[in-house]
Chain A
């Protein structure tokens, strides 16, 4: 029977969706290894304990709240020290997180502090005797690796979106803990966290992504992509490397090998040729639509629904059609 510690991520004192994913994954792992306890650890300013109580819905037996006003922003040094301390004192066999940008920052620090084996960005994890066997995409997602990790404790992060939050209500006893390292003494200081998207979901969380490439010809034409995203309502806007290299869109919008990897329900590629480097970032999307005037464009090989045509004609027509469909 193994106790599992789940790092439940917050931002500005609010739980992120990845927190629910981490607790769900921890619950599944605990149940698969004899039904141990899931302890969720949450960091935030005063009041985060109340917000964290809902983690019980997703399987947390205990919710450990670490409240400090410095936790309005990320504080990787004191947060990782505290997680490591809790893992030790709680004798946790596994420490589970999600490989969001913050998760990727925290988890390896925790692993190193614990001298623990570490599996990063996994699609799934199964216990196999003393070991944990995980599946993890490598080589720009072109190869799926099955890895075996031994040693106790083991730190593991799941790819964002790989685990669907599942309700599995448990007691969620509340505990509070003081930071194991004083945030005021942290050497790395996050001075501020600024929001960059204007009311659209982030690429990692959006169920629909409308993405634009060089076929849009100039920065101003991205308006077409934004209008289509607005028509869908819950869509994010992405871009190819060609476009971010030109400076039409910020680098953080880039989808591809050296940018973001996304896995939405629907990916609409507008004026994108489908270079290998781009495909690597979106090939696991559930449904792919491509609009491009070149019928030989490689994107059409993987698009479930391809339209060969001028983006300046097709996209406005699609925007209108989507608006109409949604208004029914």
Chain B
């Protein structure tokens, strides 16, 4: 089975962000970057599928600046065979432009499955997977929490609010991955060494027209500082009073 996984460099989830001096980006000083969370589940699923299914290839793609090379190399150290960087001068927030660049590269790649994380940690748009599929004319299933592929087709489960969908679809297809599919492996030290010898190709990204730009980034307003109103069950009457009179939710 030939699987492509589209991944992105994103800041580590535990970071407290500061806005950079330009006001249109975060201050990257001291920020740790890694493969965007949901993307790493997709990489793990792809590797497990190949390992269980007795053969095939996993290739990772990323649209990003040079800094994304380290991200791609992490995927290589997890066991991915080959990586391709579609290089941009600056991070791109326009989902359609990213999808164009990926579709141009993936076209004719002969992939049975193209995986995405359901949403990127930073841009948080969750659109590139579906858009890329549309450009490639492939079926797409978004945000799956269970997935099985084989014999030319796939079954998946998507969680809705208070419900779940069971879905069937033919391969080749694009699928975006939610949490719960697979826990990403730690790159083994041997894997880190082997990654150095694996191919990582860089080419310019064909973005087309970029129609979404950042005007400003700011930190959300702080909540008012927390208040402890009492201890133990004895504090309950006061809580109820406050919920009734102050918060007006009771």
Contacts and interface: CB of A to CB of B under 8 A. Distances in A.
A and B touch in the complex (CB under 8 A): yes
Interface of A: 11, 73-74, 76-77, 100-102, 104-105, 107-109, 111-113, 115-121, 133, 136-151, 187-197, 201-205, 207-208, 232, 251-252, 254, 257-259, 265-266, 276-277, 280, 283-284, 286-290, 295, 299-310, 313-314, 316-318, 321-322, 325-326
B220 A309 contact: no
Contact of A305 (B14, B139, B223, B229): B229
B134 interface: yes
B127 A300 contact: no
A125 B100 CA distance: 25
Contacts of B242: 305
Interface of B: 11, 13-14, 16-17, 19, 26, 37-38, 93-96, 99, 121-131, 133-135, 139-143, 145, 158-170, 173, 179-180, 209, 211-220, 223-233, 235-237, 239-240, 242-244, 247, 249-250
B95 A108 contact: yes
Contact of A145 (B130, B158, B214, B233): B214
23 contacts: A77-B139, A100-B161, A104-B142, A108-B126, A108-B130, A118-B212, A147-B215, A193-B164, A195-B162, A195-B163, A258-B179, A287-B247, A290-B226, A301-B225, A303-B227, A304-B224, A305-B239, A305-B242, A307-B228, A307-B230, A317-B236, A321-B237, A325-B240
Given A73-B165, A77-B139, A251-B159, 4 more contacts: A188-B169, A290-B226, A307-B236, A307-B239
B226 A139 contact: no
Q: Interface majority SS on A: helix, strand, loop or mixed?
A: mixed
A320 B132 CA distance: 53
A251 B14 CA distance: 20
Contacts of A192: 165-166
Contact of A112 (B99, B126, B160): B99
A139 B11 contact: yes
Contacts of A277: 13-14
B127 A107 contact: yes
A304 B167 contact: no
A141 to B, nearest CB: 7
Given A139-B122, A277-B13, A188 B229 contact: no
B226 to A, nearest CB: 5
Contacts of A195: 162-163
B103 to A, nearest CB: 9
A211 B219 CA distance: 26
A207 B243 CA distance: 14
A208 B243 CA distance: 12
Nearest to B220: A144
Given A74-B165, A149-B211, A317-B236, A141 B127 contact: no
